[in-house]
Amino acid sequence: MDTIAAALQAVRGRIARAAVAAGRNPPEVALLAVSKSWPAKRVQEAYLAGQTAFGENYLQEALRKMEALAGLPLEWHFIGPIQSNKTRAIAERFSWVHSVEREKIAERLSQARRKNAPPLKVCLQVNVSGEATKSGVSPEAVLALARQVARLPRLELRGLMAIPEPLPTATAQQASFRLLRELKERLCAEGISLDTLSMGMSQDLEAAIAEGATMVRVGTAIFGEREEA
Ligand SMILES: *Cc1c(COP(=O)(O)O)cnc(C)c1O
């Protein structure tokens, strides 16, 4: 068995054990394979091992891989910061966007989504770590943003996403994920129905699943250590 197939199997095992430990059904937790920095060949290997959903942070890099793998039935998720001049290509080429944090960007994505394509599925990225990170809407502003995004015709608001600062203990890490879950529950109580919590990465997916993650975004544990630019 090649290394990516073995690593994928190990990650699926971690997800299943964490779900069972939390009293949840393993199929409730989807695996998004984060393929940023890895060539199309690696994505293809993961596909041959049964993985179809892939996350990318950089548009140009993602477009190259999509082109190379155009024959495969892959589902692409955009998970990186969104510049407004990239919204058209993102809306045209991806199925999901996890990193919406401003109304202006959401409007542009909705305008650019083709009428004959299904609505673009989106998550709002929330800054659950306060001053420590800059990306994401603040917890105080998420309800207002959710109301705006829910009105946009070519977007389907599905949930919330967060990348908490790494913290030294599992307990502390879990508190960040709990905050995101509680925000989702608050929005649902306000009549905004959401079914997705995109949280948990290679290092902390167990803590995220314990707090209700429905999609974990895993790169390193599948593909190996990236050489950061
Ligand atoms: C890189 C990245 C991941 C994957 O992180 P790993 O630690 O490699 O599993 C997940 N989510 C986002 C938004 C990322 O940028």
- Å from CA of 150 to ligand 1 middle: 26
For the CA of 98, the closest atom of ligand 1 is 13
Given a contact cutoff of 8 angstroms between Cβ atoms, the answer to whether 125 and 157 are in contact is no
CB-ligand 1 contact for 102 (6 Å cutoff)? no
Q: Given the CA of residue 201, which atom of ligand 1 is nearest to it?
A: 9
Task: Annotate 194-217 with DSSP letters as a single string.
Answer: --EEE---TTTHHHHHHTT-SEEE
Question: What per-residue string of b and e applies to 38-53 under the rule 16 or more CB within 10 Å gives b?
Answer: beeebbbbbbebebeb
User: Which atom of ligand 1 is the closest one to the Cα of 32?
Assistant: 10
Residues 6 or more apart whose Cβ sits within 8 Å of residue 148: 103, 106
Question: For residues 219 and 56, is the Cβ–Cβ distance under 8 A?
Answer: no
Cα–Cα dist 69/216, whole Å: 23
Task: Report pTM.
Answer: 0.96
By alpha-carbon position, which residue is closest to atom 11 of ligand 1? 217
Residue 20's contacts (CB-CB under 8 Å, 6 or more residues apart) are 26
Cβ–ligand 1 distance for 163 under 6 Å, the answer yes
Ligand 1 in reach of 181 Cβ (< 6 A): no
Q: Which residue owns the Cα nearest ligand 1 atom 13?
A: 79
Please give the number of the atom of ligand 1 that sits closest to the Cα of 79. Answer: 13
Distance CA 127, CA 137 (A): 6
At residue 227, the pLDDT reads 82
Pocket test for ligand 1, best of 201, 205, 218, 226 (most atoms within 8 A of CB): 201
* Whether the Cβ atoms of residue 185 and residue 159 lie closer than 8 Å to each other: no
Ligand 1 centroid, distance to 191 Cα (angstroms): 30
Residue 170 phi, psi (nearest 5): -65, -35
CA-99 nearest atom, ligand 1: 13
**Ligand 1 center to residue 168 CA distance, Å?**
18
190 alpha carbon to ligand 1 midpoint, in Å?
30
Q: What is the DSSP string of 145-212?
A: HHHHHHT-TTEEEEEEE--PPP-SSHHHHHHHHHHHHHHHHHHHHTT----EEE---TTTHHHHHHTT
Q: Is 217 in the pocket of ligand 1 (CB under 6 A)?
A: yes
DSSP secondary-structure letter at 131? G
Along the 229 residues of the chain, how does pLDDT read in single tens digits?
A: 579 999 999 999 999 999 999 999 999 999 999 999 999 999 999 999 999 999 999 999 999 999 999 999 999 999 999 999 999 999 999 999 999 999 999 999 999 999 999 999 999 999 999 877 789 999 999 999 999 999 999 999 999 999 999 888 889 999 999 999 999 999 999 999 999 999 999 999 999 999 999 999 999 999 999 886 5
